[in-house]
Amino acid sequence: MRILLTGAGGQLGRALQVALERHQLIALERRELDITDPAAVREALRRHRPELVLNAAAYTRVDGAESEPEAAFAVNAEGPRHLAKASAAGGIALLHMSTDYVFDGTANCPYDESAPANPRSVYGASKLAGEQAVREHNPRHLIVRTAWLYHTVGHNFPTTMLALAGRGEVRVVDDQRGSPTYAPHLTAAIARLIESGAAGIYHLAGTRHGPGSLPLTDAVSDGFRQQHWQNTIDYRPVQRAILLNLDRWVRESIEPPPSLMPRIGDGTAVRRESLREVFMSIPGMGFLKALPVRRRLDFGPEMDRGLPHYPPKEGEPFVTLVSGVDDDGNEVAGIRLPDVSVPLGTYTGWTMRHPDTGAGGQFIPLQGAVLPFPRSRQERQALGDPRPALEERYGSKDEYLGKVRAAVQDLVRERYILEEDVDRIVAGAAARWDAFHAVEHLSPMLKDQVATR
């Protein structure tokens, strides 16, 4: 792999050069690339065209940062931001090094990746800001936090002690606890992380929480209805393939197929609000009256000891991005089963409460919808539906099933579907073709709406 390493002259940078020597490594020391210079960062990426940027550059003088916060933030927060933006623009992955200083150090149990960050020092705050910038600007990122590095070379505790040992009495702080990390152990793990591809995030385009099935129904549970037909996409064949891919990855080191998900970098991850226009233009689809909002929750200072304080304090809402959609309202990113790539309708991972159930137009968790295309041109024109009708898309059922089979074969080649599931998926598509033609394509709700227009 072609890897551009920043901060190559540092303690970790030097150890990484050894661990990654089997790769095509462009190792840049500070004098060759200053990460606080956005133009220089863009130029370096343009010139070297790496597949991965590995950021080991940092302002690491923990005590010094207290008196020079601007310098610390420039290298530890703004530098990673420039790297993240430039790498995202080129679709390049970014591995960013961070630190245990993002935590406050008061926990009496190990910190895991989801432990709340609460830096107590300028250095820790600047490193946390760097992590956030990386997350925000490059969806293809890995963040590796490490603690208390030591090596036979560079500035670290053992080398300092060895140097002092020759000078007689040694005076050392005795109130610090930590878990030292031998740099070559860390760099070997980083090499494995990079070489594994660290893949495996799959978005199932157009599906709801659980797999769907026929018959078409708007019943969510006894007496409780949704506004549209329930989503019929059965994604279980994808899960079977993914499970086998995972097993092969672990046992035989066969890489799983690449992650497929909406990405900010290629414009397929979009804000939910931006989809309103497409869905509102489809008669009967509509859009949620209010989009559900998830907020950051603060359960208090004892949460990491398992003692949450209730009620939690609500913080800033999370930004929620979803897949963009095509003109039919179908998702463009993720694993697209033939339901979505050779569609019979518009499939969503959301739907609304039916007015008969109360609170019409409000969100129903976990449910999804399908709004079949009009069957004929005449039906489409009567409804003013912008989506081409089934008869306009497919000359016949055979033609449709031929396209479904070709789409499934593509997924088999890409390893998102198993060969043995192809016939079953085509048979399911045939059943849906019949079902979508047998009903007047409108759900009972839409029928009422159209009748009153």
Ligand X SMILES: NC(=O)c1ccc[n+]([C@@H]2O[C@H](COP(=O)([O-])OP(=O)(O)OC[C@H]3O[C@@H](n4cnc5c(N)ncnc54)[C@H](OP(=O)(O)O)[C@@H]3O)[C@@H](O)[C@H]2O)c1
CA distance 110 to 391: 61
Decide: is 83 part of the binding site for ligand X (CB under 6 A): no
Active site residue 235: no
Report the run of H or E that residue 446 belongs to, with start and end: helix 444-451
Nearest Cα neighbor of 118 from 102, 106, 98, 131 is: 102
Nearest Cα neighbor of 54 from 89, 17, 90, 22 is: 17
CA distance 344 to 434: 11
CA distance 412 to 417: 5
For the segment 268-307, give every residue that binds ligand X (CB under 6 A).
Answer: none
Nearer to ligand X, 6 or 330 (CB): 6
Report the run of H or E that residue 321 belongs to, with start and end: strand 321-323
Nearer to ligand X, 6 or 367 (CB): 6
Residue 300 Cα distances to 118, 308, 407, angstroms:
12, 6, 50
Nearer to ligand X, 10 or 237 (CB): 10
Decide: is 226 part of the binding site for ligand X (CB under 6 A): no
Decide: is 405 part of the binding site for ligand X (CB under 6 A): no
Decide: is 78 part of the binding site for ligand X (CB under 6 A): no
CA distance 398 to 390: 13
For 391, phi then psi, to 5°, come to: -70, -25
* Crossing angle of helices 122-137 and 79-89, rounded to 10°: 10
Size of the site for ligand X (CB under 6 A): 27
Cβ atoms of 189 and 408 closer than 8 Å: no
Decide: is 148 part of the binding site for ligand X (CB under 6 A): yes
Decide: is 407 part of the binding site for ligand X (CB under 6 A): no
Residue 36 CB, nearest approach to ligand X (Å): 5
Nearer to ligand X, 52 or 390 (CB): 52
Q: CB 312: neighbour CB atoms within 10 A?
A: 14
Decide: is 235 part of the binding site for ligand X (CB under 6 A): no
Cβ atoms of 333 and 205 closer than 8 Å: yes
Decide: is 59 part of the binding site for ligand X (CB under 6 A): yes
For the segment 181-210, give every residue that binds ligand X (CB under 6 A).
Answer: none
**With CB under 6 A as the contact rule, which of the stretches 1-9, 208-216, 379-387, 437-445 interacts with ligand X?**
1-9
**Cα torsion 435, 441, 444, 445: sign:** positive
Nearer to ligand X, 76 or 351 (CB): 76
Of 50, 53, 99, 257, the residue at the interface with ligand X (CB under 6 A) is 99
**With CB under 6 A as the contact rule, which of the stretches 141-149, 263-271, 359-367, 397-405 interacts with ligand X?**
141-149
Nearer to ligand X, 191 or 261 (CB): 191
Of 9, 38, 69, 184, the residue at the interface with ligand X (CB under 6 A) is 9
Residue 142 CB, nearest approach to ligand X (Å): 13
Which residues, including other chains, have CB under 8 Å from residue 37's CB and lie 6 or more apart?
Answer: 82
Site string for ligand X, 21-40 (x = CB under 6 A): ---------x--xxxx----
Decide: is 230 part of the binding site for ligand X (CB under 6 A): no
Catalytic hit among 59, 123, 235, 347: 123
Cβ atoms of 76 and 59 closer than 8 Å: yes
For the annotated catalytic residues, the residue numbers are: 123
Q: Which residues bind ligand X (CB under 6 A)?
A: 6-7, 9-13, 30, 33-36, 56-60, 75, 79, 97, 99, 127, 146-149, 154
